[in-house]
A and B are shown apart, each in its own frame.
Chain A
Amino acid sequence: MIRFILRRLLWAIPTLLIVTFLVFVAIRVGTDPVASYLRINSRASPAKIQQYKEANGLIGTIPEQYVRWLWKFVRFDWGVSIKGRVPVWPSIKAALSNTFILGAFASVIGITVGLGIGILASLKQYSKFDSLSSASAFIGLSIPPYISAVLLQLVFSYYVTKWFDLSKPFLPPSGVYPPGHGDNFDLFLRFKHLILPGTVVAIQTIAVYSRYMRASLLEVKNSDYLRTARAKGISETRVIVRHALRNALIPIVTVAAIDVGAIIGGLIITERIFEYKGMGDFFLTAFENGDFPQLMPWMVLVVISLILFNLLADVAYAFLDPRIRL
């Protein structure tokens, strides 16, 4: 097992190098850093432009630039953004922690509720509950996050506020904290701002995981070893919990690991609509500004998280399923 993990981690290094190089080329060619600089500093003198180019390693062929960028990157010299000259690392760190909180909040609720619904639905296959949950999951999957997000804003930030004649929105439609609050930690306000974006993400998660769980448990229910377990005279609860659920959860754990890894870069739509300052919003803002120094570290962090969580999924699979030898 340890050898497997080490080998995979070693493999991750060349993968990371190749992927970051491709991403570097794509972004470098796609967004002209000099043009982005000029858009913000429209009257920069040629000397200033030259200075900017040198500071950001924009001289020479693209492979040369990549090597220079990589060398600075691994020494944690991540530079400053083009717009506003903000240091990249502190802002990406803040975005990471915001996304982590939103992702954890939404996935914990989404996955537990989704699994619960899936288990109930498959235990009572073809019941009313089963068809109702299937239909809801189908509807949930057909509603893109930007529609549910704006709908939630309309209902909970506008209408509920209006009906109850509140002075402030019932649930805040945007931000991590109310405007003017600053960054002082306040659990209640923080939670209030998490509810709407968290719900948008959780709806999708519930829909997906209830389907997974249902399908997985139904497959296990027809297996021979469950018949054997029942034939041994084990109580039905124990058959379901110890034999059926344990096996049905194996594929789901691996899917969940990959999904959680994707959260780091994947909540762009929700974060943008709720102006939630996470990684997705960070990416979109950097993209709109053509902010090369911000885009590359973002990409690298997303790729690292994808690779790590894929590895985690494989390890979890081997750990949970004794039939698999690494």
Chain B
Amino acid sequence: MTDLSEFEAAVSSPHVPNDELDSDEVNALIESVSPSRLALRRFMRHRVAMASLVVFTLIAIWIILAPITARYGEIEILAPFNGKRGLNSPGAKAWFGTDQLNRDLYSRIIWGGRVSMFIGLTVALFASVIGTLVGAVAGYRGGIIDDMLMRTTDLFLAFPTLVLLLVIRNLFDQLTWLNWLVGDLKSIRFIIVLLVALSWMSVARIVRGTVLSLKEREFVEASVALGSSAPRIVVRHLIPNAIGPIIVALTTSVVAAIVAESTLAFFGFGIDPVYKTSWGGLLGDSKGQVLTGKWWLLVFPGAVFVITIMCINFIGDALRDAFDPKQGQARR
């Protein structure tokens, strides 16, 4: 080391290049914190997301404890009061007013929330599992599986969602050999299968993209050199390393599923409204009634719906930042 400038260069560029790490990551190296710990820490610092998490938890508890929190049954018709057999405005007897059949809106929002949330979470779960597996295999293997995945999803993502939902809904209903899986046209199971059939694709595309970049990394090469089988590499190395994008995709699909279900229910293509209701079904009830000023039918279910969607969106956004801070910088 005879030249001074060479020495300076060596000192100023230490083992880990500084400009590629943010301060969190440098601290993490010093304290030796795991990446998931680091992500959690970043998430916690996101104040709006933490508030959203609290609100979302409260709504979830409110809905899960329906037998305690709801004042009346799901389809219980109240005896006429205030001289009206229906459409009573909010008051002591019915906090959020009643609908056309004199059913308590407050209770129905809770019961309907159960259906909406159940559908949202179940669909997201199934869609993520299927999407992750297909996306990881397509990304790792490439070739014809990959081409088929990309072409099919291109086709499906191009169409308006509602058109796809409706056309496939009819198709599932008519295909008798699918009956064991989809069940009755107006059942919750039918909606879940329908939504899973369409929503795994966006998860698969995200996972595929992540796996495409992961499979060129050294640890995969090392695993191949050690003689690991392809399924082992996918399950043990690729999927765990893609967990960040997968979790973000999961939250996005929860929102997508809840919104899709309520769109269907809003237009009367959802679950059978005689026995059960969902938030979309309640919103659909408001459609014809606002022009005569029955504001409560829209405002209460609408507010609960939008607040829930917003909470999940904020949580998802914070998770994205937490797992991938560099990508998030432009958006923040």
Contacts and interface: CB of A to CB of B under 8 A. Distances in A.
Are A and B co-members of a single complex? Answer: yes
Interface of A: 19, 22-23, 26-27, 29-32, 138-139, 141-144, 146-147, 150-151, 153-154, 157-159, 162, 173, 211, 214-215, 218-219, 262, 265-266, 268-269, 272-273, 283-284, 287, 302-303, 306
Given A153-B290, A154-B295, A173-B291, A32 B174 contact: yes
Interface of B: 155, 158-160, 162-163, 166-171, 173-175, 259, 262-263, 266-267, 283, 286-287, 290-293, 295, 298, 302, 305-306, 309-310, 313-314, 330-331
Contact of A150 (B167, B287, B331): B287
A123 to B, nearest CB: 14
A273 B287 contact: yes
A283 B171 CA distance: 16
Interface of A is mostly: helix
Contacts of A287: 166-167
Contacts of A162: 293
B49 to A, nearest CB: 12
Contacts of B293: 154, 158-159, 162
Nearest to B175: A29
B292 A158 contact: yes
Contacts of A269: 162, 263, 266
Contacts of B173: 30
A32 B170 CA distance: 10
Contact of B174 (A29, A139, A154): A29
Nearest to B170: A30
B253 to A, nearest CB: 15
A211 B155 CA distance: 26
Contacts of B163: 265, 268, 283, 302
Contact of B306 (A142, A153, A268, A273): A142
Contacts of A266: 160
Q: Which of A30, A31, A268 has the most CB of B within 10 A?
A: A30
Contacts of A32: 174
21 contacts: A19-B155, A27-B170, A29-B174, A30-B174, A32-B174, A142-B306, A143-B306, A150-B287, A150-B290, A151-B298, A154-B290, A154-B291, A157-B290, A158-B290, A158-B291, A219-B330, A268-B162, A284-B267, A302-B159, A306-B158, A306-B159
